[in-house]
Amino acid sequence: QVQLVESGGGLVQAGGSLRLSCATSGRTLSTYNIAWFRQAPGKEREFVAAMVWSGRTFHADSVKGRFTISRDNAKNMVYLDMNSLKPEDTAVYSCAARGSYFDVRDPYSSGTYDYWGQGTQVTVSS
């Protein structure tokens, strides 16, 4: 059973930075396709960033140049570094994973991923 546990959320002023972490267990991280999604109140879940099995990364246009996804296979950790935060980045951020030995076809879709964390709240004040 794969488990994902996020941490690192909190309250930050606009322009500030946060690092979200996702601890993974149950399978070697290098065999995962991983992603971060977010959901703001009253809005649908949206894609933020992904790193597929090969290491290739994808970022939503709204966060390109500000957010970076990374992973540390030795520590079984996934990270989302968020800089230049804006009030519109306020949401619950969740990490997601799908185990495979190949790149998933659609890293942008939430339906691609089998495992989800409980989420961590990020609030950006203006």
- Per-residue pLDDT of 61-104, as tens digits, reads 999 999 999 999 899 999 999 999 999 999 999 999 998 888 99
Task: Name the residue with higher pLDDT: 26 or 102.
Answer: 102
Complete DSSP assignment for 4-15 = EEEE--EEEETT
Can you give 42-107 as a three-state secondary structure string?
A: CCCCEEEEEECCCCCEEECCCCCCCEEEEEECCCCEEEEEECCCCHHHCEEEEEEEEECCCCCCCC
3-class state of residue 120 by DSSP: strand
pLDDT of residue 62: 97
Q: How many residues does the chain have?
A: 126
